[in-house]
């Protein structure tokens, strides 16, 4: 994990930190919703991953509850998942942050013990939007789990 860029708390980095945190949470929320519901383990797994990256939003008043806020916004307009991903992830393609966003989404997908087909499709959509090279098609590296058959 030492190759993951860290978010610093300097004033110049606050806007970028917030933008990255928002992008991670939107991607995670879309993945979490993909299988029909948000499992409590998905919140926990996302928080644990964000702490390893130095992106723990709970330290910021704006970041507290961000995942749930993203889920609620997406629930209000369910057909907008793809457009929300495209809009929020724009500008991260090809950057080191792109990998953090994808890995966070992978962790969320695996949090309930299986990666469902709908979650796999969202992960591939995120990978495409972020212009990341394809991974091993039957396994997601961040979680070490095989996709579910369901």
Per-residue pLDDT tens digits for 49-95? 888 877 765 555 455 688 889 999 898 886 778 899 999 998 898 78
Domain ranges of the chain: 12-129
Please give the model's pTM, rounded to 2 decimal places. 0.77
Output the pLDDT for position 130.
94
- Write down the mean pLDDT value for the chain: 78
Helix (H, G, I), strand (E, B) or coil at 147: strand
Using the predicted structure, report yes or no on whether residue 140 has a pLDDT greater than 50. no
Between residues 57 and 37, the one the model is more confident about: 37
């Amino acid at each position: 994990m030492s190759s993951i860029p860290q978010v610093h708390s300097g004033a110049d980095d606050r806007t970028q930190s917030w933008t990255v945190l928002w992008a991670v949470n939107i991607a995670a929320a879309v993945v979490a919703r993909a299988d029909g519901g948000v499992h409590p383990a998905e919140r926990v797994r996302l928080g644990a991953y964000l702490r390893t990256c130095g992106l723990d939003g709970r330290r910021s008043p704006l970041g507290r509850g961000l995942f749930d806020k993203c889920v609620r916004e997406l629930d209000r307009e369910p057909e907008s998942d793809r457009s929300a991903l495209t809009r929020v992830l724009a500008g991260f393609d090809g950057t080191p942050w792109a990998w953090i966003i994808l890995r966070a989404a992978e962790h969320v997908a695996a949090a309930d013990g299986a990666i469902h087909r709908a979650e796999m499709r969202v992960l591939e959509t995120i990978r495409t939007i972020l212009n990341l090279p394809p991974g091993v098609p039957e396994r997601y590296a961040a979680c070490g789990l095989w996709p579910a058959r369901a």
